[in-house]
Structures are given as C-alpha cells and as structure tokens.
Chains A and B, each alone.
Chain A
Amino acid sequence: MERRGNPESLSHVPDGLLVGAQIEPDTVNLQAHRIRWRVTWTSTSREHTKDGGHDETRGLRAMLIRVAARPSELSGIRAGVRAFVAQTGGDDRIADDLELVVSELATNVIEHTSADTISVLVERDGSGWVMEVADADDASMLDRVSLPPATSPTGRGLFVVRSLVDTLELIETATARAVRCTLSAS
C-alpha cells in the first residue's frame, strides 16, 4: 500500500522531535472539552510551512495525544480529534468519521493490547487526514474486518473503521505497532 503524508509516523517520532508546549486555548479550543492531558505538536510542521499550510492553519499540521490506556480517556481523545479536524479545515462529516474511527481504534488498544498508553497521531496532509493509533495487537487483526452475526455482541469495531476510511494498514517497526488509516478531504 502506498504511503503518503509525513514519513515520520508515530512509530518513528522520538520524544525529542516533539514541541512540548502546552496547547494554547485560543489556537484550539480544547479547554471547552475539559481536556486534562497535554497535547504536543510535532516539529515536522516546519516542513509544512513551505507549502503555505502554515498560514491557513496557524502551523497546526499534526497532533499527538498520549494518554493512559483507560476507557475514561476515550471521550477526551475524541474531543481532541474533533478539535484538530476543525482547526485543519475539516467539516462535520470528517470530524464525525475520525471521531468514530479513533474511538474504535483506541478502544482496541485498551481491550486487545497490554499497552499502558494510547498514542494517537493525527496529521493533515495535502489530500486529507492521516491517523495512527498505537499500540496495535497482532498483525492478523486486519483480517478480522468482516461483520459478525447480527446477534454477536462483539467484533464490529474494525469493520466500522474500514467502512469509514480510505486506507487501513498495520505499520510495524522494531519498537511499536500501529494502525494507520487515511481519510481524504473530499
């Protein structure tokens, strides 16, 4: 599958590459959502300033959320993603879709991995949005994207994700494994 967007995926971004500033309330109105965690912006936005994206979005090209892998964090993760989409030119449809996608993928981290932390990287690139959620469980997970019987209580999360995104893949490095998906702007 062709990769697009910023090559510095979540799995590759060391902490040293991150701008550790607190989110500015007047830049993204995250305080209204009672976000308790810190949001950091990747320094890769410097590259994007060259294509004019900096002016349109005040330099916001990527957002990294790292929170404890607890169900109580899901609502805040969704609010953060919605706020980012709104700040990067997305409409309600994009926000609705990415909100549902991140909720499903973050829930998978909680329920199917032993990770202590949920990491969500969202990037705005020229064609749309790229989202990576880590950790992911074993590589066979993307095979389980068919619908279960109607009466089955579980097994629909990845099917929902695949229904909403344009591409869905598992990326794997020596240190981490993440689900990566893309959603085009149009």
Chain B
Amino acid sequence: MSEVELDNQRFTVTSTATGWSISGEIDASTAPRLVEAVEQLPGHDGAIVLDVKDVSFIDSSGLRVLIALAERARGEGRTVELDNPSTSVVRLLEITGLADMFGLGEPPTT
C-alpha cells in the first residue's frame, strides 16, 4: 500500500490498497486540486474503491469530479465504487439519481 497523502487543508487524499480515501470538502474550490491529487496517486487494477466516509461536504462541483473519475475508469474497463459514503455524499447522489453509477443502488429485493 502506497503511503501517498496529499493534504490541501480542506481535503485529504490518501492511497489505499484498492483505491483512495478522500476526506474533507469537495466543492468548486477543492475539486480541481482533487483531480490533480488523484492523478498523482498510483493506479489500481480492477474496481477502484473510494472511501468517502469522511467527506464532510460535497456539492455538484465535487460530484463532477467523481463522475469524471467514473467515466475515465469505465473507459479503461473498470468501475468506481464508493465505500462508506457520508450522509453528504449519499444525499447528493440520491437527489441526482446517480447512486447506481457508484455501486450504491438499492439492493435487489427478493
């Protein structure tokens, strides 16, 4: 596991075994730096897991980054999954109907 950590005061990105852990605020201010940060981190095979339990705030500007990550991964035949989504993340994905894109859709009822 790579010990890459990028601290930009308002958010932190840390490389994990299967993806990245993101904490802090993701808005129009931090989103561009988040993109830069993620690009510096080592790549991952298979599904990319983003641990977002400590994302204290996210708006549509932040969501834009997650969508871009998901689209890029899909182009490489991979997926992006969100792990431990914070209430801020869950709420925004529910409003925008994008939970499925990040593996957070409703589990099938049997």
Contacts and interface: CB of A to CB of B under 8 A. Distances in A.
B25 A163 contact: no
A9 B36 CA distance: 40
Nearest to A110: B28
B67 A160 contact: no
A100 B58 CA distance: 8
Given A96-B91, A150-B101, A160 B59 contact: yes
Most buried by A among B60, B64, B67, B97: B60
A71 to B, nearest CB: 4
B4 interface: no
A154 interface: yes
A74 B59 CA distance: 11
A59 to B, nearest CB: 29
Nearest to B67: A153
Give chain B's interface residue range (CB within 8 Å of chain A): 20 to 34
A110 B27 CA distance: 12
Contacts of A110: 28
Given A111-B28, A151-B67, A157 B60 contact: yes
Interface in A90-130: 96, 99-100, 103-104, 107, 110-111
Contacts, number: 62
Main secondary structure of the interface of A (DSSP, over half): helix
Give chain A's interface residue range (CB within 8 Å of chain B): 20 to 34
A72 B64 CA distance: 18
Contact of B97 (A78, A111, A147, A152): A147
Nearest to A157: B60
B40 interface: no
B97 A107 contact: no
B70 to A, nearest CB: 8
A159 B59 contact: no
13 contacts: A74-B29, A75-B10, A75-B25, A100-B92, A147-B97, A151-B71, A154-B64, A156-B60, A156-B96, A157-B59, A159-B95, A160-B96, A163-B95
Interface of B: 10, 25, 27-29, 57, 59-61, 63-64, 67-68, 71, 87-88, 91-92, 95-98, 101
Given A72-B29, A107-B61, 12 more contacts: A71-B28, A75-B29, A104-B59, A111-B28, A147-B97, A150-B97, A151-B71, A156-B63, A156-B96, A157-B61, A159-B96, A160-B59
